[in-house]
Amino acid sequence: MLDVVQQLLLMLGGVYTTLSVSILSFLLGLTIGLPLAFMRAYGSKPFQILIDGFEKVFRGIPELVLMLLFYWGIGYYFRTPFKNPFFTATFVLGLRSAANQSQIFRGAIRGIGEEQMLAARSLGLSRIRSVIHVMLPQVFISSTPGLGSEYALLVKDSSYAWIIAVIDIMAITDWIRKGTGDTVTPYLLAALLYILLTFPIATWLDTWGSRKKKQLGL
């Protein structure tokens, strides 16, 4: 029987993987989601329909189903890279996050409005420069609270990756439960760890973003 401290030390070994999956999928979501939001806002009709479709699909399917579908289903035909659990978990979470982040950013773009763009264009800035110097900074400030929640969601949903054998906090928790027969402590410790990994950052982003938005009148 392992005591609480020993259990916790074992589980800390999974923190690195949990954070890697969460942060990498967040960055993947950002890299895809941000351009999607601008293409959705300023692009032509076919683009808009395509992006809406992508968002609906990835936001509509449960994360667990997506993960198993890519690992077993698509992985059956494309062993590389989908039979790599770490890759598939990050990839699937990243795509879903792209759909979420695209919506977050689009909301911010809509909130900031056409006027800022028009004011930028009136100075002689090109469309792309207007986006970079006028829209993007404001979009990011406006989106910070939403991005905080999105990060928390990713950390929590990364626990599904245990099912395709990613050795994260959840996987180690389950090992300890199996090995020791202790059905309470491991889960409580896991709960504590997930809260510690999400709550401070998400709260800080929310407070900072809300204060900044208010301060700038966004």
In the complex, the residues that contact another protein under the rule CB under 8 A are 112, 115-116, 118-126, 129, 133-134, 137-138, 141, 215-218
- Shortest spacing between CB 34 and another protein, in angstroms: 17
Element (H, E) at 55: helix 45-60
Q: Give the integer Cα–Cα distance in Å for 187 and 106.
A: 37
Nearer of residues 103 and 138 to another protein, judged by Cβ:
138
DSSP 47: H
CB of 210: closest distance to another protein in angstroms? Answer: 14
Which one-letter amino acid corresponds to residue 90?
Answer: T
Query: Among residues 60 and 124, whose Cβ is nearest to another protein?
Result: 124
80/122 with CB nearer another protein: 122
| Cβ-based nearer residue to another protein, 144 or 158 | 144
Q: How far is the CB of 128 from another protein (least distance, A)?
A: 10
Query: Which of 56, 133 has the CB closer to another protein?
Result: 133
**Quick one: tokens of 185?**
């402590």
Closer residue to another protein (CB): 134 or 171: 134
Instruction: Output the smallest distance, CB 14 to another protein, in A.
Output: 39
CB within 8 Å of 27: residues ≥ 6 apart: 94
Question: What is the torsion angle, in degrees rounded to the nearest 10, for the CA atoms of residue 44, residue 49, residue 50 and residue 53?
Answer: 160
CB of 209 to another protein, least distance (A): 13
- Give the residue from 89, 97, 72 showing the smallest Cα distance to 152: 97
Alpha helices in 84-182, H assignment, sequence order: 85-112, 114-122, 127-130, 136-157, 169-180
> Minimum distance between the CB of residue 117 and another protein, rounded to whole angstroms?
10
Q: Check if the beta carbon of residue 60 is closer than 8 Å to that of residue 129.
A: no
